[in-house]
Structure 1
Amino acid sequence: MRADRLVSLVLLLRQRGRMTALELAHELEVSTRTVLRDIEALSTAGVPVYADRGRHGGFSLLPGFRTELTGLNHDEALALLTAGTGRGEQVFGLSAALASAMRKVVDALPENNRASLDDAARRFLVEPETDLLSRRLVTEDVSREVMGEVRRAVLHGHKLRLQYAARGAEPSWRTVDPIGLVTVRDRTYLLATKSGQDRTYRLSRVMAAKELPEAAARPAQADLDRLWAERSARFLSEDHLAVLVRINPARREELLDSARGVRAEESDTDGWVRLDVSFEDLRHAVWAIWRLGTDAEVLAPESLRDALGERAAALHARYVHSSDTVQIASTRTPMIHRGTGH
């Protein structure tokens, strides 16, 4: 790990010029004391790192120490740099590793390609934090320690001890056999088995994790696409409310953001979309559909149609009464004004 950090330090100085110990520490996610030790180690090894004293000082690297990356064309390099600019860099807790890899790619590119590729990569934006309606994308928080332990157990093929807080339950410990990690819409899931039974754990609900030395009981090869499809289908068939709804295509994503899952989708005759979706329960479905107003129409179940109709009737009754009150008050106001001499 220290060798990788020393390489990253050299690449940072090559690409950015003079940097302070504090700036280097922030980029490498270590302390300034560690940076100073690394600088000393590089100097001892003959790497020409020197310090500029004074208010605007820092560490610099003399020109040199570069190799060109051969066999990588312009579009391939652009694809790597663009991937490194997106929010996906946080996936599986590998942001620091991705940043280090990007520095190595940039440093290894021929000099005449670097400037044009840097400008090109800045013209692509992958997964911004908000959409066109200024709705912020919610990224679930998973601690670095938990992610690190889970990732190591998955890669090493070891059993994993989890303290997990299931929905509506107190946190409890369990030992599982990890199979793989899946990230969907900024949520990360652990696919595993427990006592031979399939289990799926949402990492944001893992309070603590510990990789165990025992080998996990799992197949040698894992087809995560197939496993995820099977578990998704099983999840959607469990105790949830199935809803058939017609919706204006412009509001489709808004509905999917609040639904638990999508069973089927097809175009309707009038340009709208017909969706078979699932919700936690009737209350969840009423809340999600009500927000769409007249841009959605529930076709089934009848219990949801009744609940929405009752809510609409109650709202209509309230505002009809309110409108009558306002009208009566407005007719009386001139009489009051005349009586007071205004």
Structure 2
Amino acid sequence: MRADRLVKLVLLLRRHGRLSATTLAGELEVSTRTVLRDIEALSAAGVPVYAERGRHGGFALLPGFRTELTGLSHDEALALLVAGSRRGAQAFGLGSALASAMLKVVDALPESYRDTAAGAAERLLIDPETDLLSRRLVAEETPDAVTAAVLRAVFAGHKLRIHYAAVNQSTKWRTVDPIGLVTVRDRGYLLATRSGEDRTYRLSRILAAEVLAEPAQRPDRVDLDRAWQERGTRFRTGGDQVTVLARVDPRRREDLVGTALAVLTEETGQDGRLRLEVTFQDRRHAEWALWQLGAYAEALAPQWLRTTLHDRATAIAARYEASR
């Protein structure tokens, strides 16, 4: 790990020219004392790094210094392969590897391309932390040790023992055969089998994981896209799902459809509003989806949903009526 950090330190100095110990510590995710020790190690190894004193001082390399530092590690190469989604790399615990790999890629570019690429990159922002309404987009977090163990089991093809917290169930250990990993809207999922049956586990609900020595029982090749689609179909057609008939303002159609599991039927009424038959995961999901649309939508069926929404609206109206 220290060797990788030293390479990254040199690449940072190559890229930026001069950086303070504090800035380097932040980029490398270590203490300033560790940075100073790394600088001493580089100097002892013959890397021409020197300190500039003063208010705007820091560490820099002698002009013209260049060495072969651009070989990608396994994790860095893997991070680049999933770099189409920066959040995907984060979900699989490859965020730091991606940053390190991109430094090496930039360093390997011809000098004439390097400045152009850097300028272009400044004009692209992918997946910011908040949307236009300043709502923070919070990604689910998985302990690094868990992510590392899951990745090892998936790539090595070994059985995996996980301590899993399923919804509305007691937390318990399970031994699974890992198939692959999928990330969807900042959520990471482990596709696996258990006792020969397909299983899907959310990474953020895995509290601990152990890679076992026993080989996993799984096919040599896998079509993850197809496997994900098949599991999605089974999820949408099973469990405690409910079907709702709703009348919706066309301007809010996407808000409803975007939260539903599936749209079964859709037609436009004489009043210009849409009549949609949609399915939701359960009663709570259906109530939330219709409630958030307020007067822009009306649940026509089932009756229990109309009653639930009516009672909630009545209670809120009474609360605010009392304060007028």
**Cα distance in 2 for residues equivalent to 1:116 and 1:182:** 34
* Equivalent runs, 1:9-20 vs 2, <5 Å: 9-20=9-20
Q: Shift in Å at residue 56 of structure 1?
A: 5.4
Say if 2:162 and 2:210, in contact at 8 Å, map to a contact too. yes
- Structure-1 residue corresponding to 2:189: 189
* Equivalent runs, 1:89-108 vs 2, <5 Å: 89-108=89-108
**Cα distance in 2 for residues equivalent to 1:94 and 1:302:** 48
Say if 1:93 and 1:144, in contact at 8 Å, map to a contact too. yes
- Structure-1 residue corresponding to 2:291: 290
| Paired residue secondary structure (2:15) | helix
**Cα distance in 2 for residues equivalent to 1:119 and 1:262:** 43
Say if 1:19 and 1:60, in contact at 8 Å, map to a contact too. yes
**Cα distance in 2 for residues equivalent to 1:68 and 1:32:** 23
Q: Shift in Å at residue 263 of structure 1?
A: 4.8
Say if 1:243 and 1:279, in contact at 8 Å, map to a contact too. no
Distance 1:112 1:48, change over 3 A: same
Q: Shift in Å at residue 254 of structure 1?
A: 4.2
Q: Which moved more, 1:35-44 or 1:101-110?
A: 35-44
The answer for unaligned runs of 5 or more in structure 2 is 71-79
TM-score, scaled relative to structure 2? 0.80
Distance 1:253 1:27, change over 3 A: farther
- Structure-2 residue corresponding to 1:221: 221
Aligned residue identity for 2:262: V
In the alignment of these two chains, the number of paired residues is 309
**Cα distance in 2 for residues equivalent to 1:59 and 1:189:** 42
Distance 1:265 1:35, change over 3 A: farther
**Cα distance in 1 for residues equivalent to 2:85 and 2:52:** 31
Q: Which moved more, 1:246-255 or 1:216-225?
A: 246-255
Say if 1:86 and 1:128, in contact at 8 Å, map to a contact too. no
Deviations 1:178-228 (A, max 9, x none): 111111111111111111111111111111112222211111111111111
1:170 aligns with 2:131: no
| Paired residue secondary structure (2:18) | coil
1:251 aligns with 2:252: yes
Q: Which moved more, 1:58-67 or 1:235-244?
A: 58-67
Q: Shift in Å at residue 105 of structure 1?
A: 1.7
The answer for unaligned runs of 5 or more in structure 1 is 70-79, 327-342
- Structure-2 residue corresponding to 1:48: 48
Aligned residue identity for 2:6: L
Q: Shift in Å at residue 273 of structure 1?
A: 7.9
- Structure-1 residue corresponding to 2:76: none
Say if 1:242 and 1:279, in contact at 8 Å, map to a contact too. no
Distance 1:180 1:11, change over 3 A: same
Q: Shift in Å at residue 317 of structure 1?
A: 8.2
1:116 aligns with 2:116: yes
Say if 2:236 and 2:281, in contact at 8 Å, map to a contact too. no
* Equivalent runs, 1:222-241 vs 2, <5 Å: 222-238=222-238, 239-241=240-242
| Aligned pair partner of 1:280 in 267, 279, 282 | 282
**Cα distance in 2 for residues equivalent to 1:40 and 1:16:** 20
Say if 1:290 and 1:308, in contact at 8 Å, map to a contact too. yes
Distance 1:189 1:256, change over 3 A: farther
**Cα distance in 1 for residues equivalent to 2:265 and 2:132:** 24
Say if 1:68 and 1:110, in contact at 8 Å, map to a contact too. no
| Paired residue secondary structure (2:155) | helix
| Paired residue secondary structure (2:279) | strand
Aligned residue identity for 2:60: S
- Structure-2 residue corresponding to 1:301: 302
Distance 1:234 1:91, change over 3 A: same
Aligned residue identity for 1:225: D
Aligned residue identity for 1:198: D
Say if 1:84 and 1:98, in contact at 8 Å, map to a contact too. no
1 or 2, which has the higher helix percentage?
1
Q: Shift in Å at residue 67 of structure 1?
A: 7.3
Higher Rg of the two aligned structures: 1
Q: Shift in Å at residue 13 of structure 1?
A: 0.9
Distance 1:295 1:161, change over 3 A: same
| Paired residue secondary structure (2:46) | coil
**Cα distance in 2 for residues equivalent to 1:297 and 1:217:** 49
Identity across matched positions, percent: 59
TM-score, scaled relative to structure 1? 0.77
Distance 1:53 1:134, change over 3 A: closer
Aligned residue identity for 2:18: R
- Structure-1 residue corresponding to 2:130: 130
**Cα distance in 2 for residues equivalent to 1:39 and 1:286:** 59
Aligned residue identity for 1:280: D
- Structure-2 residue corresponding to 1:337: none
